[in-house]
Amino acid sequence: MELSQFFSENPQVALAFSGGCDSAYLLWAAVNSGAKVQPYYVKTAFQPEFEFQDARRLADQLNVSLAVIELPVLEYPKTAENPKDRCYYCKKAMFSALLDRVKADGFTVLIDGTNASDDGNDRPGMRALAELSVRSPLRECGVTKEQVRARSKEAGLFTWNKPAYACLATRIPTGVRITKEALRRVETAEDALFRLGFTDFRVRLLGDAARLQLSKEQIGEGFSRREEIRKTLAPVFSTVLLDLEERKGNG
């Protein structure tokens, strides 16, 4: 099935919109298929500010209004406690709140940007989506991540080469309670590294220290600029460790 057929069969949809590459392309596809689509951004302590700004920018680019739902995600015990399957509980809370809103707004179909390259066996959050009957058109239509990027570039979307960015909660080791302060420190440090020109990395907590993971392409630059990085992150972390193993995956 093609995306155009999906939207022909589902002409009115609500979209869980993160501002990332996949949901951005899905919003574009829905708009260009003539569907009535309403994007919703669920704003939590787990999303960095730049993701919200990207979501607003893309919605403006496509001349679509963006609905924002604020969710106090850390008030959910199973999310804040950070168990191994935290993503399941987080997605369940977020999409349950989202479903309540979209139903109140008159929508019966909620879609998200999961693509055909996403491995459901490795994504506990996808179990929550299945339980709540959230549709994933990219996955249903066999559209891979590579195709999403290629089509987004052709469509002129600024998100076409945007690196995958897992939520800030993934920076906290499993089993360590997630706090607003821990998330704030991580986001501040990552914003600082973005300003230094690094693009695909993670700042992970290791006790009270920051463990910096860089991509294969930038790990050499990170090592050569280690003193600059240390000074830049000093206001947030007194100890910064550079992981000599390159960052892999999306988490």
Q: In CATH, what number is assigned to the domain containing residue 87? A: 3.40.50.620
Residue ranges, the chain, pLDDT below 70 = 119-122, 249-251
Residues 28 and 91 placed together within one structural domain of the fold:
yes
Residues 99 and 216 placed together within one structural domain of the fold:
no
Phi and psi angles of residue 57, each rounded to the nearest 5 degrees, phi first: -65, -45
Residues 109 and 7 placed together within one structural domain of the fold:
yes
189 domain residue, yes or no? yes
Q: 26 near 14, Cβ under 8 Å?
A: no
Residues 11 and 86 placed together within one structural domain of the fold:
yes
Residues 108 and 189 placed together within one structural domain of the fold:
no
212 domain residue, yes or no? yes
Residues 22 and 72 placed together within one structural domain of the fold:
yes
Residues 127 and 228 placed together within one structural domain of the fold:
no
Residues 13 and 137 placed together within one structural domain of the fold:
yes
- Quick one: what percent of the chain has pLDDT higher than 70? 96
Q: Domain of 98?
A: 3-155
108 domain residue, yes or no? yes
Model pTM score: 0.90
160 domain residue, yes or no? no
Residues 63 and 96 placed together within one structural domain of the fold:
yes
pLDDT at 125: 77
The string of pLDDT tens digits covering residues 11-60 is 999 999 999 999 999 999 999 999 999 999 999 999 999 999 999 999 99
pLDDT at 56: 96
Residues 30 and 144 placed together within one structural domain of the fold:
yes
Of 119, 139, 155, which residue sits at a domain end? 155
In the chain, the amino acid numbered 234 is A
Residues 40 and 144 placed together within one structural domain of the fold:
yes
Rounded Cα–Cα distance for residues 112 and 134 (Å): 7
80 domain residue, yes or no? yes
Residues 137 and 70 placed together within one structural domain of the fold:
yes
23 domain residue, yes or no? yes
Longest dimension (CA), the chain: 56
Kindly report the CATH number assigned to the domain that includes residue 189: 3.30.70
Domain count within the chain: 2
249 domain residue, yes or no? no
Q: Buried b / exposed e across 152-179, counting CB within 10 Å, b at 16+?
A: beeeebebbebeebebbbbbbeeeeebe
186 domain residue, yes or no? yes
pLDDT at 119: 66
